Amino acid sequence: MNKTQKNIIYIIIIIFLTIAILFILSQMPNFSKQPQEQNLPLTLKFIWIFLLADIIFISLPTLFHYLYVNDYQKISSLWFFTFSGAIIGILLGEQMNFIMLMPYLILMFIYALFYKYFIWWKVALSSYLAGIIIENIINRSPLQSPTLIWIGFFTFPFFLTKIWENRNKLSFKKIFRDFWLTIIITLILTGLAIYFSSINPSPPLILLALTIPLLLALIYKVLKKIYKKSSYFR
């Protein structure tokens, strides 16, 4: 069995386990806690919303990594992965509830070990399955769409860590030249979002203002880089 076949089998196993566990949990009466008003159901509408959040969340460090680092080797800095993942996790996932810092540190350290010893995409592929185990089996939470955010929580620290490990290769002068206009647009949009949020509080609006300009700039530069590479080999 060659490497490609092994990878395909791995992907099939992860997908099968994820679907099987979701099905089993949905058929187990009285195992999960009763849904609360704040729980968002696992419906197509909310699935798309949280998948979009994952895409934005993961794309920022991933695209930056592709442009300036492009190192997909296993991580060596366990502590950076653990602390960056835990801190951003509680900021975005627990509304800055620092009581949850220790559980997040433990979870992120476990995933840091996975990224240290296994290929990154295989670990990232298991992130939703891990989220289901944490939320729906250990915590016995009802099936809900926000569990999808664990995909982002367990994936983005890999790229942040690789950027940190290769920080000596980065030219901050070049990065500033590449994104000075994006920084100005982001500051203007964020200021407007904060102003309108003072009238009608909207954290998602502020988050979009902070991320969308940079995301669009990164996508443009990645496509430009890919085009240049393809033109070179013609």
Which residue positions in the chain have pLDDT lower than 70? Answer: 35-39, 201-202, 231-234
Maximum separation of any 2 CA atoms in the chain, in Å:
62
pLDDT in tens, 76-126: 999 999 999 999 888 877 777 778 889 899 999 999 999 999 999 999 999
Amino acid 225: pLDDT: 87
pLDDT in tens, 41-55: 777 778 888 888 888
Amino acid 1: pLDDT: 75
Amino acid 73: pLDDT: 94
